[in-house]
With several copies, the nearest count.
Chain A
């Protein structure tokens, strides 16, 4: 039994849902993501948020998987400040949807001024509506700098409790600063550009098992929606106790996510095939 707290199911198949359910996935959270191209109008985001709050939870339920989501405009699209603010303007009307846990994945991509500006406005929105935050940290050579800039921006706002922020995609050089400042952190298991299961388990061995989770970040690129159960196998291969496997892949994400009353990892009977489409 596990939770994948960061996976972009909009880009995945029903076969993936089937395989995840068989591997023990009971709940997921899907942060709003970049589409692979820049959406051209706020209307595109409106429809995307409808998908995340309506269609996708119904699709997941057919496989007995509870689906939750986070809303934002991605930092890859933040250079267009005007459009970003339009999107920020429509988010509040979705925040009461039964599966919305907060604002995310927000953060930085190339660590630019406009990205930082729009990040600050997302943080202010989260504070205003008392939402949790899921943070995306930049890729590769931009990660270290961006992680620090993001944490500085959250601290500068002053209205966000560190315990309600998950900073994702940490690696060996960013995990300690994130934990030291009191945030939760996520390790993303991703081919080539983030953590392997081995390195993620190394990080647990080095930096402890508190305020940390693992996710697949499965998306439209080369990625693996079964990465979390594979990391469970890696933990077992090393002889870690089953209790630790369960803590990292179920109890920890449940603890963080349950700060929203909307989150549930309770068993869900698969629904009938959705015929409303």
Chain B
């Protein structure tokens, strides 16, 4: 068992990272493409969750670090006061980015 006093990982390269993980993320990009195509083919009004997904996808390409953290923050309820009453038990996955409703009332 190799030991390291500070438990650090071996240094990795971008190439090694792509060797290990490119194929599965290639598949995930295709899955998202197919999902967005599916939404296109469906009828009815636009859905705020899909809109929030598109905004998140744009963050993937903005050239800044910590995309995962920033996307999670984007989708988060940014209010700070408890809501009056819980009317459901589940969660949706994102807030409505087009809404400025203060849900703390």
Contacts and interface: CB of A to CB of B under 8 A. Distances in A.
Q: Do chains A and B touch in the complex (CB under 8 A)?
A: yes
Given A139-B91, A244-B9, A79 B80 contact: no
A237 B91 contact: no
A239 B12 contact: yes
A202 interface: yes
Contact of A145 (B23, B77, B94): B77
Nearest to B88: A110
B76 A240 contact: no
Contacts of B10: 238-240
Give the size range of B's interface with the partner: 35 or more
Contact of B31 (A114, A142, A198, A209): A198
A111 B35 CA distance: 31
Given A144-B77, A242-B1, A112 B91 contact: no
Contacts of B83: 110-113
B43 interface: no
B47 interface: no
Given A149-B82, A241-B9, A141 B31 contact: no
Interface string A137-148: 011111111001
A113 B76 CA distance: 19
Interface in A227-255: 237-244, 247
A196 B80 CA distance: 28
Interface of B is mostly: loop
Given A140-B91, A172-B68, A114 B86 contact: yes
B76, B84, B87 — which one has the most chain A CB atoms within 10 A of its CB?
A: B76
Interface string B42-65: 000000000000000000000000
A220 to B, nearest CB: 14
A171 B3 CA distance: 28
B70 to A, nearest CB: 8
Nearest to B52: A141
B11 to A, nearest CB: 9
B33 to A, nearest CB: 9
A115 B83 CA distance: 10
Interface string B30-43: 11001101100100
A79 B86 contact: yes
Given A141-B91, A149-B82, A242-B1, A171 B23 contact: no
Contacts of B12: 238-239
Contacts of A115: 82, 86
Interface in A133-178: 138-145, 148-149, 171-173
Given A192-B24, A244-B4, 18 more contacts: A109-B89, A110-B86, A110-B89, A114-B86, A115-B82, A141-B92, A141-B94, A173-B73, A191-B27, A199-B31, A199-B34, A202-B38, A205-B41, A238-B10, A239-B9, A239-B10, A242-B1, A243-B2
Interface of B: 1-4, 7-10, 12, 20-21, 23-24, 26-27, 30-31, 34-35, 37-38, 41, 66, 68-69, 72-73, 75-80, 82-95
11 contacts: A79-B85, A112-B86, A113-B82, A115-B82, A140-B75, A144-B78, A145-B79, A171-B72, A192-B23, A239-B9, A240-B7
